[in-house]
Amino acid sequence: MAKQPPKDIAAATRLVAAGRRPEWTGPAVNPPVWRASTYLYEDSAAQEAGRHVNADGLFHYGARGGPTQWALADALTELEPGAAGTMLYPTGLAAPAMALLSVLKAGDEVLVSDNSYDPSRNIAVHALRDYGITVRFFDPLDLAGFPAAIGDKTRAVLLESPGSLSMEVCDVPALAKAAKARGLAVLLDNTWAGPTGFQAIRHGVDLSILALTKHVGGHSDLMLGSVTANAQYYPRLRKRSLMLGQQASPDDCALALRGLRTMGVRLERSSVSGLAIAEWLEQRDEVAAVLFPMLPGAPGHDLWKRDFTGGCGLMTVVMAGRDAPARDRLVDALSLFGIGYSWGGFESLVLGVHPERDRTAMPWPPRGIDPAGALAIRLWIGLEDPADLIADLERGLAAWAQS
């Protein structure tokens, strides 16, 4: 049987040990995949009693999950000091949707960080407004102006730090403190760093959102999301999620548990390679800016150094002085970087991105960068040898320079 680990262990050790309760694993190292829609009761009295008990870890019906889902949720909760529980969702996009719907109702207002991921903006702009919820976007870097943005009907704020396209790091503890002083729920998309790189709830966040498709899955073969919440908001999150039939497949949860065990070493490799590549790109004349918080001197580096214990290899590179066809030539010339959405897997990816299309309160490009010919590409640095990736980028920059 698996032994219960000590409580005071490092995050890297917790990645290996968390969620492996003996009652869920038995003699196996990993929790088995429990596929079940129906769980059987001993008798009618037990079935009737089950109707009145709605708690994690108790067999009821497949929509409430089973040991495979509970093991993953338990592990994610253990990774967030101060958390009360975690809910799982079939996609990363479902996670912010359910987090928002658990704290908002018709007539409420939510403030959304202007650097939020495009799908999160779509939830806010379309779904929430259709439900009678007012949405306003704000600049999360304007800390002094934030209190004035909070209105009488504001009930929540959605942050994303760093922004997944433009990499701004906001002062989450200060924004959370100001929000809570006015009674707001604080939500954060913490996918970039994850709980091993940024302990969201310890820094004042109420609901921490992850696209488990990314780092936790790690192999580009599953869709999954999660929300981990503190004691104040977890009961509301769980109730609303179950009410709307949200649950994750046990097979996908098993894949996520497998990925979780190696996430620490994969993130370390991606971060080290990412920093080496960012430093190389920073010296190139073709590059106007490297937006990567782990890079000394980059926007947000001081806050990253203060609040974070890790990161990953996701960055945005602002190219200088050419046009969109030049960007396409650069992207198309790369052979080790696949062209594709998502990130966080073992393979490196590249994507031409357009932050300017989704801005209402923040400038693009960032202040200090000449907007003429400023075109952005997003790079995910995977597990390949960084020297090979640099050689590939060298070929891409040669294609960028062609007339």
Q: What is the pLDDT of residues 283-306, one digit of tens each?
A: 999 999 999 999 999 999 999 999
Q: Is 189 helix (H, G, I), strand (E, B) or coil?
A: strand
Which segments of 248-385 does DSSP mark as H helices, in order?
250-282, 301-307, 324-333
Rounded Cα–Cα distance for residues 89 and 76 (Å): 13
Alpha carbon distances (Å) from 145 to 94, 159, 173: 30, 15, 15
> How much helix, strand and coil, in percent to the nearest 5, is found in the chain?
40, 15, 45
Question: Tokens 């800016």 appear where?
Answer: 289
Separation between Cα atoms, residue 142 and residue 144, nearest integer Å: 6
What does pTM read for this prediction?
A: 0.95
Give the chain's mean pLDDT: 94
Q: What average pLDDT does the segment 339-343 reach?
A: 95
248 has pLDDT over 60: yes
Q: List, for residues 17-54, the tens digit of each pLDDT value.
A: 999 998 888 888 888 999 999 999 999 999 999 888 88
On whether the CB atoms of residues 320 and 373 are closer than 8 A, the answer is yes
> Which phi and psi angles does 261 have, rounded to 5°?
-65, -25
Nearest 5°: the CA angle 384, 385, 391 is 105
Per-residue pLDDT band for 356 (boundaries 50, 70, 90) equals confident
pLDDT at 2: 58
Binning pLDDT at 50, 70 and 90, where does residue 1 land? low
In 3-state terms, what secondary structure has residue 261?
helix
- CA–CA dist 57, 34 (Å, integer): 13
